[in-house]
Chain A
């Protein structure tokens, strides 16, 4: 039995994360102050850079597209009680699937190339998630450690693949051949000139579809139900006849496939070829996004846009305020993970006390029942 009265649902879902987030920004502001700059000016610059004009907004959405995918990857695994730290590696190797299909089909039409590339990237990314899942399910190796290891293995593998396999003999730079226009994912600017030169592309529609799909998967399918049982209580899921090992493997595959969608956005939508390190830490941003979004697609969408804005605004920031580099964004991201993830409990006790003081008489019926004497 809990020693505290539980918080009202809205406080648990909204107020507590908001307070933690506020603290993260407050500390970030202090860091900005520390280097002698004005944090309010910085916020202004970030906001304008991210939302103030078409190009900026387009970039924000482009970053957000990546973060939605990696955030969902972390969230799906989290619902099954798994911490997938390997989004970066899964997205990275998925680039192989994307680029191979895109290069093979870039003489046809993007409507043919894109769906097949999605399948290929999902398959490769999914495989990179499946292996740690399989190792966890069948061999008991901790998925956190294996996914970390797989990030590094992916990195070595990709350097090799790009340099030795994909790189055309004619070029010096470590990158694949360029995908022809027909094989590229169309840019939103082709339809809306508002977006200027920003690289936001139709991948964002896949991201939106993924958000909806994950919502349905988790809360409206039997598989999602089983996933949540496993995540909340693995013994109960075995009791319920749910195959935990199968669930872990499938969930990690889905998680990896979602992370792999980053490759569609980057390889086919932005770079038009496979370059080294194209993931650029998006997998780790996904952790922050999922934590902040409380593993819910709506929360993830909002958090992804926030981080997209920070990344885009941060780019802008270093031009306007030379004293602040874009690494400041990584700091903010770290603080968000720290305060909304690891230090999630910071405000809970005092908030619970505050709510008890505010309404000493308010007793939920559950509490009343749980303390009532059994009548005979």
Chain B
């Protein structure tokens, strides 16, 4: 394989990793605060729809993005009301959110736009354009490093850069700020937080608000950056892969980035490898590569390669009174 092929696979890797990474970081905030979130998929889907719909109507990608984040946030708060305030089962809340989003997006999409659940194709301004970084064109001619900079690093959507910046931001917030300290504490031992005079409920809501906003970015990426408009079930299980990545990364931000890149790479590879004959192995079934992230996560969970132990208080609603 020559450099151009490798670069194009890596370029696709970055594009495919971005929504995973945003959703994975979203899940990280929620789960580190002690709330299992299997509703990432639903929140992304709702955001993708809202972003696509508003961008189509208004012709503005920015309004679309804001709508996506707002709807994702509202969905998160609904989930939070069930899981935090009403102390309901967090897993069931997540399942409900996923289903609600799947039903509502198609239902409203069909009702409003009558295009089989799709939103209308976006005009120029309704979609985010790729950003060319400074000197990308000038440096393109430099051997090896030139193409890497101009093709791999430059020329992505704004949300791609935001996703990767968010990794550093999240790591900083988590380990270097008061908010992060309390967030981690509330996921490990909420009673310790409560006796220290901090409201567990407030802390958890703050965490899931970030989750909601990040899922909004992830969802918008599907419909108004990568795609041009919303399509039925557009997120196609990416929320679950993000969840798998979160577990695989043991709930840590930097490993989360590498895991999402790995899963994105597998995705890029399987597109590339359709009917592609590998030496020795022969044709690898695409399905095997598609299933790989899930298989890897199961193997990790089973403790065959390291051990994934989540936040201790995860999944348990906090009850103060005895």
Point out residues on A near B: beta carbons under 8 Å: 1, 3, 31, 35, 83, 85, 135, 139-142, 144-146, 148-150, 152-153, 156-157, 159-160, 164, 284, 287, 291, 323-325, 327-335, 337-338, 341-346
Q: Decide if B281 is an interface residue (CB 8 Å cutoff).
A: no
Q: Do A338 and B297 touch (CB < 8 A)? A: no
- Distance, CA A3 to CA B321, complexed state (A): 8
Give every chain B residue within 8 A of A157 (Cβ-Cβ): 287, 291
Q: Decide if B60 is an interface residue (CB 8 Å cutoff).
A: no
The list of the 10 closest CB pairs from A to B, nearest first, reads: A330-B103, A334-B99, A334-B100, A342-B93, A331-B103, A141-B301, A156-B291, A338-B96, A342-B88, A342-B82
- Distance, CA A329 to CA B100, complexed state (A): 10
Q: Decide if B290 is an interface residue (CB 8 Å cutoff).
A: yes
Q: Do B92 and A345 touch (CB < 8 A)? A: no
Could you jot down 23 A-B contacts, CB within 8 Å?
Answer: A31-B107, A35-B107, A85-B91, A139-B302, A141-B303, A144-B36, A144-B91, A149-B294, A150-B298, A152-B294, A156-B288, A159-B287, A160-B287, A160-B288, A164-B285, A325-B107, A334-B99, A334-B104, A338-B82, A341-B88, A342-B93, A342-B96, A343-B82
Q: Do A291 and B92 touch (CB < 8 A)? A: yes
Q: Decide if B86 is an interface residue (CB 8 Å cutoff).
A: yes
- Distance, CA A142 to CA B111, complexed state (A): 39
Give every chain B residue within 8 A of A153 (Cβ-Cβ): 291, 294-295, 298
Q: Do B92 and A287 touch (CB < 8 A)? A: yes
- Distance, CA A152 to CA B303, complexed state (A): 20
Known: A135-B302, A149-B298. A144 touches B104 (CB 8 A): no
Q: Which residue of A lies closest to B36 (CB)?
A: A144
- Distance, CA A338 to CA B291, complexed state (A): 30
* Whole-angstrom distance between the Cβ of B45 and the nearest chain A Cβ: 12
- Distance, CA A325 to CA B110, complexed state (A): 7
Residue from A139, A146, A148, A334 within 8 A of B103 (CB atoms): A334
Residue from A139, A287, A323, A327 within 8 A of B95 (CB atoms): A287
- Distance, CA A271 to CA B82, complexed state (A): 39
* Whole-angstrom distance between the Cβ of A285 and the nearest chain B Cβ: 9
Q: Which residue of B lies closest to A349 (CB)?
A: B86
Q: Which residue of A lies closest to B90 (CB)?
A: A342
Q: Do A135 and B301 touch (CB < 8 A)? A: yes
Give every chain A residue within 8 A of B321 (Cβ-Cβ): 3
Give every chain B residue within 8 A of A344 (Cβ-Cβ): 86, 88-89
- Distance, CA A325 to CA B303, complexed state (A): 45
Q: Do A325 and B106 touch (CB < 8 A)? A: yes
- Distance, CA A324 to CA B114, complexed state (A): 11
**Interface bits B282-322 vs A (CB < 8 Å: 1, else 0):** 00010110110011011001111000000000000000011
Give every chain B residue within 8 A of A150 (Cβ-Cβ): 294, 298
Give every chain B residue within 8 A of A149 (Cβ-Cβ): 240, 244, 294-295, 297-298
Q: Do A330 and B102 touch (CB < 8 A)? A: yes
Known: A148-B243, A342-B93. A337 touches B99 (CB 8 A): yes
* Whole-angstrom distance between the Cβ of B211 and the nearest chain A Cβ: 16
Give every chain B residue within 8 A of A31 (Cβ-Cβ): 104, 107
Q: Do A343 and B91 touch (CB < 8 A)? A: no
- Distance, CA A153 to CA B298, complexed state (A): 10
* Whole-angstrom distance between the Cβ of B117 and the nearest chain A Cβ: 8
Q: Which residue of A lies closest to B111 (CB)?
A: A35
Known: A284-B99, A334-B103. A83 touches B91 (CB 8 A): yes
- Distance, CA A349 to CA B107, complexed state (A): 34
